C-alpha cells in the first residue's frame, strides 16, 4: 500500500508512522467478511474508511466461508505506537439473517463490561460506540438496505492480551476492548521510547541473559560502574517507565532484576508510583514524611522535611537527626512494590534494589551491598 504524508507524524524531530485502532481493524475484518460472503470468493486486500474519514487499507490474513457465513482476520497495526494489541489478529464473522437487521456482538477474546460508568452498559461487549457505529455502517454499505447480518468480533489472543491493559481495573472481563474515536493511532515519543527499550531488552534476552540491571538514567549507570564496579553488559536504562519496563522484563522471561537508582526517582516507586516523571507524580516529600512518621520521627522534623524541595535537602536533615533507618525502609518498599506489581503473572521475577544519593553515596540496599556486587560482577 502506498503511503502519504498523512501516514506519519513528526514528534521532536522524529518521523513516526501512524497506525490503526482495534476499531478500524475490526471494521476492515467485518467488511472483508461481508464481501467474501456475498461474492463467495476470498478478499486479499480490503479498504475501509476510518472514523475520521481517512482511507485505510489492510491485507486479509485468514478466512473461511460458505453460503451462510464468512470469517476473516486482519492484523492490528499500531504503527510506531506499540501497545499491547499491536500485531494481534482481529476476526469478524458475518452471518446472513432473514431480515434487514444488523446486530453486532463480541466473541472469544472480546471483553464484557461488568461495571457501570463505561461507554457501554454492563453485560455488553466492550465495543465502544464509535467503532460500533463504523463497523455497522461499513457492513451496511456492502449489504445494502434490504439484507441483514449478525456480526461477531473476536480475538483469539484477547483474553491473554487484556491482562496487559487497563481492562481488569475497569471491570471489563474476558478480553480486549474494540476502541478508537478517530480510528487512527498517532504515536507519541514516549511510546516509541518504550518500544526502543523493549527492543534493547529483547536483545539481552536473545543473547541468553536471564537477569537484568535497570537504572533510571546516567546517574544510576555511573553509580553501577564507578561505585559498585559492575559492568553495563547486563544493564538497560529504563528512564521514567519503571512499571512498563518491569512488566517487559517479566514478559520476556527475565528471572532476576536489580534496580539501581537515585533516591529522588526511586522513592516514588516505594509508594507504588511506577511512572516517575514529575509530570505524572511528585510525592517525594509526602512519601518521605510517611516513612519517617512510621519510625516515630518528631513532628518538627517531619515539617522540615515536608518543606524541602529536593531529596538531597531531605537527606541532610534526616542524617543530622539520626533517622538513616528510613532509607532501608524505603528500599525494602521498592522491592515489595515491584514484586507486587508482577505477582499475578508468570514467570516470577526476583527483584533487589539499591538506592543512593549523588551527594552522599550509598543509602541502602535490599541485601548487603557486597553480596549484590559479588553476584552481579
For 167, residues 6+ apart whose C-beta sits below 8 A from its C-beta are: 111, 126, 173, 175, 176, 177
Same domain, 174 and 42: yes
State residue 117's pLDDT score: 59
Element (H, E) at 248: helix 242-252
HEC readout, 41-53: CCCCEEEEECCCC
**Domain containing residue 195:** 189-376
Same domain, 157 and 50: yes
Closest CA to 239 of 191, 194, 189: 194
Same domain, 198 and 178: no
State residue 184's pLDDT score: 77
Domain end call among 185, 207, 235: 185
Structural contact between residues 373 and 230, judged by C-beta atoms closer than 8 angstroms: yes
Q: What is the pLDDT along the chain (377 residues), one digit of tens a residue?
A: 433 335 655 544 556 677 899 999 999 999 999 999 999 999 999 999 998 888 899 999 999 999 999 999 999 998 776 678 989 999 999 999 999 999 999 999 999 998 765 678 889 999 999 999 999 999 999 999 999 999 999 999 999 999 887 688 567 899 999 988 788 776 554 765 786 688 778 878 887 899 999 999 888 999 999 999 999 889 999 989 999 999 999 999 999 999 999 999 999 999 999 999 877 888 999 999 999 999 999 999 999 999 987 888 899 999 999 999 999 999 999 999 999 999 989 999 999 999 999 889 999 999 999 999 999 98
Same domain, 96 and 14: yes
Q: Which own/partner contact pairs does 227-235 have at CB distance under 8 Å and 24+ positions apart?
A: 227/356, 227/361, 227/362, 228/260, 228/354, 228/369, 228/372, 228/373, 228/376, 229/373, 229/377, 230/373, 230/376, 230/377, 231/377, 234/204, 234/209, 234/376
Structural contact between residues 94 and 64, judged by C-beta atoms closer than 8 angstroms: no
Structural contact between residues 113 and 123, judged by C-beta atoms closer than 8 angstroms: yes
Does the predicted model carry a pTM greater than 0.75? Answer: no
Peptide bond connecting 247 to the previous residue in cis, omega within 30 degrees of 0: no
Q: Which CATH number fits the domain that encloses residue 181?
A: 3.30.2110.10
3-class SS of residue 350: strand
Same domain, 23 and 170: yes
Same domain, 144 and 41: yes
CA atoms within 13 A on the CB side of 277: 8
How many distinct structural domains can be found in the chain? 2
Same domain, 16 and 135: yes
State residue 189's pLDDT score: 47
Same domain, 354 and 211: yes
Same domain, 214 and 299: yes
Same domain, 121 and 17: yes
Same domain, 82 and 69: yes
Cα torsion 316, 319, 323, 328 to 10°: value is: 90
Domain end call among 169, 185, 201: 185
The per-residue DSSP string of 13-69 comes to TEEEE-EE-HHHHHHHHHHHHHHHHHHTS--SEEEEE-TTS-EEEEEEEEEEE-SSE
Domain end call among 185, 206, 234: 185
Same domain, 163 and 64: yes
Amino acid at each position: 500500500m502506498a503511503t502519504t504524508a498523512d501516514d506519519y507524524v513528526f514528534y521532536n524531530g522524529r518521523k513516526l508512522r501512524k497506525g490503526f485502532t482495534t476499531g478500524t481493524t475490526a471494521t476492515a475484518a467485518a467488511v472483508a467478511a461481508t464481501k467474501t460472503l456475498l461474492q463467495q470468493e476470498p478478499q486479499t486486500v480490503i479498504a475501509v474508511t476510518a472514523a475520521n474519514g481517512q482511507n485505510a487499507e489492510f491485507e486479509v490474513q485468514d478466512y473461511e466461508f460458505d453460503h451462510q457465513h464468512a470469517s476473516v482476520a486482519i492484523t492490528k497495526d499500531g504503527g510506531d505506537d506499540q501497545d499491547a494489541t499491536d500485531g494481534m489478529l482481529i476476526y469478524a464473522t458475518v452471518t446472513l439473517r432473514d431480515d434487514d437487521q444488523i446486530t453486532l456482538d463480541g466473541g472469544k477474546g472480546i471483553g464484557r463490561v461488568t461495571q457501570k460508568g463505561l461507554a457501554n452498559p454492563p453485560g455488553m461487549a466492550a465495543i465502544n460506540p464509535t467503532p460500533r457505529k463504523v463497523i455497522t455502517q461499513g457492513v451496511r454499505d456492502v449489504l445494502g438496505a434490504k439484507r441483514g447480518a449478525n456480526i461477531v468480533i473476536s480475538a483469539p489472543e484477547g483474553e491473554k492480551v487484556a491482562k496487559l491493559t487497563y481492562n481488569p481495573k475497569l471491570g471489563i472481563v474476558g478480553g480486549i476492548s474494540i476502541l478508537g474515536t478517530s480510528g487512527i493511532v498517532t504515536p507519541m515519543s514516549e511510546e516509541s521510547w518504550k518500544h526502543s527499550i523493549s527492543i534493547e531488552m529483547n536483545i539481552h534476552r536473545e543473547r541468553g541473559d536471564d537477569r537484568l540491571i535497570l537504572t533510571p538514567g546516567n546517574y544510576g549507570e555511573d553509580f553501577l560502574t564507578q561505585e559498585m564496579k559492575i559492568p553495563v553488559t547486563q544493564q538497560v536504562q529504563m528512564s521514567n517507565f519503571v512499571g512498563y519496563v518491569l512488566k517487559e522484563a517479566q514478559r520476556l522471561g527475565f528471572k532476576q532484576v536489580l534496580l539501581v537508582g537515585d533516591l529522588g526517582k526511586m522513592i516514588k516507586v516505594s509508594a507504588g508510583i511506577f511512572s516517575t516523571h514529575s509530570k505524572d507524580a511528585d510525592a517525594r516529600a509526602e512519601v518521605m514524611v510517611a516513612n519517617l512518621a512510621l519510625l516515630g520521627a518528631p513532628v518538627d522534623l517531619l515539617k522540615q522535611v515536608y518543606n524541602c524541595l529536593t531529596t538531597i535537602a531531605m537527606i541532610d536533615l534526616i542524617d543530622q537527626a539520626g533517622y538513616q533507618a528510613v532509607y532501608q525502609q524505603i528500599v525494602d518498599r521498592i522491592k515489595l512494590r515491584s514484586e507486587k506489581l508482577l505477582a499475578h503473572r508468570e514467570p516470577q521475577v526476583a527483584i533487589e534494589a539499591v538506592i543512593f544519593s549523588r551527594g552522599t553515596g550509598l543509602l541502602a540496599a535490599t541485601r548487603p551491598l557486597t553480596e549484590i556486587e559479588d553476584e552481579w560482577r
